[in-house]
Chain A
Amino acid sequence: MEAVLTIRGLTKRYGSTVALDHVDLDVQRGEIFALLGPNGAGKTTLINIVAGLTRPTSGSARVLGHDVIDDYRFTRRAVGLVPQEINFDPFFTVSEALRFQAGYFGVRLTEDRLAEILQALDLWTKRDAGSRTLSGGMKRRLLIGKALVHAPQVLFLDEPTAGVDVEMRQSLWRYVRTLQARGTSIVLTTHYLEEAEELAERIAIVDHGKLLLTERKEDLLRRYSEKTLTISLTARLVTLPESLRTIGAQLAANGLSLSITAPPGEDLGRALAAVAAAGVAVRDVETHRARLEDIFVSLLHQGAAA
């Protein structure tokens, strides 16, 4: 696969504060890549360096093989940025804001393209409204529209759905997938881990300016997540059979359910077989797999302890 974004040794210092510490990262063409980390981890700094809003202290960032500083006119045409902070120009309408933004990139926004963007972002009825009159969610969607007017090959979404309602968030996710299907690479930072879990193919976790890991989402979930089997029983069990105790099963205080946890990387087949062999009467079975949120918290704790 072709890397659309290549970051090597990227470092940013503000005085004695290290915002980014020798980060290496590749983003492939057409993938959705999530950058996760707590507030102040360095996610926005990384995105801002690629978009041209921040200058790195050392290291390099290349978009489609072009350096973001030496060849900024090329890389900025290839990049779209949805910034974290909502901004709007009270002098102009929604359509004017989009036309001007396209014009800065040397693009004439056709009526069809304008309509496509406005409809995808559910802003069509607001096209002639002043930016000041939009709700918070609409202003955020207008930011997304401005980032898309020049059809960027790499789109950075820095907390794109903060303050956007659930229905609109789902609709934005669908649009992000449409963009991906057209070949756009998407780098997403989000506080909603479910968003990363839902959308991203690969995930990087950043903390204190350092990249803790980069993994495919499935590998990350598989490698780090424990699976728990909860079995409801038809009759109260007074004593846990020895065969189940040895595999770590735990009986609930009321004796009506037991749970068995398989460590990361192991499946639950052995546990199920042991339950069947023990002759326990089963009413229902439930499995729970740790979500990205659990993994994220655990990795950050490991990072902090290291």
Chain B
Amino acid sequence: MISRGLRTLFEKEVLRFMRVAGQTLLSPLITTALYFIVFGYSIGGRLHDIQGVPYSRFLVPGLITLGVISNAFLNTASSLFMMKMQGTLIDLLVTPLSYAEVLAGFLGAAVVRALLVGALTWLVAAIFTGFAVAHPLLLLLDLLLISIAFGAMGLCVAIWADKFEQVNFVPTFVITPLTFLGGVFTSVSMLPTALRRLTLANPIFYLVDSVRFAMLGIADSRPEIGLLLLGVLCAASLALALQLLRSGYKLRG
């Protein structure tokens, strides 16, 4: 049963990002829509189909994955870090909420925001490229696991960080480069050998590829690799986040 404490934390976290929906929902939607319009709809028309799929349509799963990853990460990272900076984290630390409840409350809101951004991105793109989804349940599972994994990572980074700069370090220097080089805009078959090797060593590539398989039914790798990797990523980031909360690292003196 979901306790009132967990429900309260979840509701408060959802209300927090809804209060600034322009920044948390509209802004990422516009960014990904611009990617789609420029790279997919404008330039895409001049590119060949990939595995029988028009480029503009090929691009959509990668952009959705990009939005889901960034927003899940940013929701937990910015919320917890702001609580640390404002001193309102005390309000949470003195409560009887268990460590798992705290984690679940933050992650629940991160999943809602990430899936909302993903769904809105998909809606905008689908108007131009069609609404068909090859494997809807697999798509939902993929995006759910991605948002949980990156939401948990955001929480870990917020616990560790002492400055805003450190919170931004991971999305700027890790997540964005890995995502851009992770097959969001290209199929590995289009890449030169060196870059192809690099892409195949990039874990984000398998996540994007799994989402692409779920949406379009085409993939560069075996789709179960992405799902397996997601399972491992989820378990590892959840375990780390829970351990950090339990240990009180940088939270309790």
Chain A positions near chain B (C-beta within 8 angstroms): 14, 45, 48, 51-55, 72-74, 76-77, 79, 81, 83, 85-92, 96, 99-101, 103-108, 146
Contact = CB atoms under 8 A, between A and B. Distances in A.
Contacts of B98: 73
Given A55-B253, A85-B87, A106-B5, 6 more contacts: A51-B94, A52-B94, A73-B98, A96-B15, A103-B4, A105-B5
Contact of B16 (A91, A103, A146): A91
Interface stretch (B6-14, B62-70, B149-157): B6-14
A104 B90 contact: no
A106 B253 contact: no
Contact of B9 (A48, A87, A92, A104): A104
B123 interface: no
A88 B93 contact: no
Interface residues of B, number: 28
A72 B252 CA distance: 13
B92 interface: yes
B242 to A, nearest CB: 16
A298 B114 CA distance: 61
Interface in B51-91: 83, 86-88, 90-91
17 contacts: A45-B253, A52-B94, A53-B93, A53-B253, A74-B96, A77-B96, A83-B90, A89-B88, A92-B12, A92-B15, A100-B8, A104-B96, A105-B96, A106-B3, A106-B5, A106-B96, A107-B4
Nearest to A75: B96
A77 B3 CA distance: 14
A91 B94 contact: no
A101 B87 contact: no
Interface of B: 3-5, 7-9, 11-12, 15-16, 19-20, 83, 86-88, 90-98, 248, 252-253
A72 B5 contact: no
A75 to B, nearest CB: 8
Contact of B8 (A45, A103, A146): A103
